[in-house]
Amino acid sequence: MTGTNGRAVVAKRVDDGNPDTTEIRDLAHAAGYTVVGEVTQKRTEDPALCLGEGKVAELATLIAETDATTVVFDNRLGPYQTYNLGNELPEGTEVIDRFKLILDIFGQRARTKKAQLQVELAELRYELPRAEAKASLAKRDERPGFMGLGEYDESRERDIKAQISRINDELERIERTEAHRREQRRESGFDLVALAGYTNAGKSTLLRRLASDLDIDENEGLHPDLDATAESENRLFTTLGTTTRRAEFDRRDVLVTDTVGFISDLPHWLVESFRSTLSEVYRADLVLLVVDASDPVEEIREKLVTCHDTLYERNEAPIVTVLNKADLVDDEELEDKREALAALAPDPVVISAKTGTNVDGLRARIDEELPAWRRERLVIPMTDETMSLVSWIHDHAHVESVDYGNEVTVEFEARPAIIEQARSKAGGLPAPAIE
């Protein structure tokens, strides 16, 4: 059965080593293509065609033989390379590179307004240099239509810049709203934990494992962005927007957010387009960096480096590396990987989100790493408003004892900000009436 996007041939060039097409095939499949062949080459990049001329001729033959409609490059193609390839391949062949493919997948998966805007922004940033190239080709009386780049529209470059500006403004408005909501959560006593890591590392499965209430309907009015579902399928980019759930902890109120997965070799403009989604990670109290422990150790190392580069740029919260999918790796291999990765992940937590192995250990680590709680003992005058304050402390802190006498004594543990609020509220209580 042919995929919804038709038949595709994948192509990949590497400077050295063996070209591995596993990921690009998975990406093409995720985008709805049926992969009917591949062409690979080990050589330095040809500035005009990416591949060498002979290999492009081989690619053209394969496309004709397989009735493919699209060629997907697991490389970054410049606008002129796309145009030149279009001239060399059978007429009507669509030429897309790795990043256009990723944008297509993002476009299919974007469900929220914010995700749709971020995809649109990334697509416009991808298209802008191509529109500039079309303008340059048109000035040279070359015909940029049909050959990979699409038709030329004189005003397109100006329109793209205007749209980019408009979407940036709209995303900033959404970000201000979300930042306000995060502060409301903190003021309500919630600790914020973000899941980060590569796509397919098992973040959504871990979120489901940590969640105390998969239904979460009772939070609907309080936190309108809480999502009742977090898919955990073995496919790339299942999570594009963010999903937040309340997690189960003895004392703390914790909200865990699953975020868009990292992808290797992403250009800056694409990461920047999803900056507001990553803000869920940057503004968290703790980041769990989830890694697929069944990956080869070199691949894990590369992924950790990429994640750290992205996170340390703006992130201030502690980062705990979680080696997931321990059920797929034997103990000896796990220990070898822990030793090999010690510099990047000095004290990782090994779990299996799928089976639940050591998830309790992870909960304990989360509790340990989150901002320290302080103990407080408040002595409150007995007034008409006192019970309302005691109820508020119960909702926002871990209450150890309440002693009712002529005055009310409350002993509790909470985040420092909650303690300050409780003191302020207690200080604002009216003096008790003198009988």
Q: Which of 60, 94, 68 is nearest to 7 (CA)?
A: 68
Average per-residue pLDDT in the chain?
81
In the predicted model, residues of the chain with pLDDT beneath 70 are: 1-3, 138-154, 186-187, 212-242, 260, 263-280, 282, 313-315, 431-435
pTM for the predicted model, two decimal places: 0.65
- Number of Cβ atoms within 10 Å of the Cβ of 217: 9
Residue 61 near residue 89, CB atoms below 8 Å: no
Q: Which of 223, 285, 218, 298 is nearest to 254 (CA)?
A: 285
DSSP state for residue 242 in the 8-state scheme: -
Residue 89 near residue 71, CB atoms below 8 Å: yes
pLDDT on residue 228: 39
Q: How far apart are the C-alpha atoms of 82 and 394, rounded to whole Å?
A: 62
Q: Which of 344, 357, 286, 346 is nearest to 315 (CA)?
A: 286
CA 358, 360, 363 angle in degrees (round to 5)?
Answer: 120
Residue 7 near residue 68, CB atoms below 8 Å: yes
Residue 209 near residue 359, CB atoms below 8 Å: yes
pLDDT on residue 270: 65
pLDDT on residue 306: 80
Residue 226 near residue 216, CB atoms below 8 Å: yes
Residue 408 near residue 359, CB atoms below 8 Å: no
Those residues whose C-beta lies under 8 Å from the C-beta of residue 92, and which sit 6 or more positions away, are: 69, 146
pLDDT on residue 81: 92
Q: 3-class DSSP state for residue 120?
A: helix
- Number of Cβ atoms within 10 Å of the Cβ of 94: 17
Burial 144-153 (b: 16+ CB within 10 A, else e): beebbbbebe
Phi, psi of 190 (to 5 degrees): -85, 140
pLDDT on residue 164: 92
CA 90 to chain centre: 37
Residue 245 near residue 222, CB atoms below 8 Å: no
pLDDT on residue 211: 85
Burial of 396 (0-12, 13-18, 19+ CB in 10 A): buried
pLDDT on residue 197: 85
H or E element that contains 101? helix 98-109
Residue 46 near residue 74, CB atoms below 8 Å: no
Those residues whose C-beta lies under 8 Å from the C-beta of residue 142, and which sit 6 or more positions away, are: none
Q: How far apart are the C-alpha atoms of 129 and 141, rounded to whole Å?
A: 19
Half-sphere exposure in the Cβ direction for 119 (13 Å, CA): 21
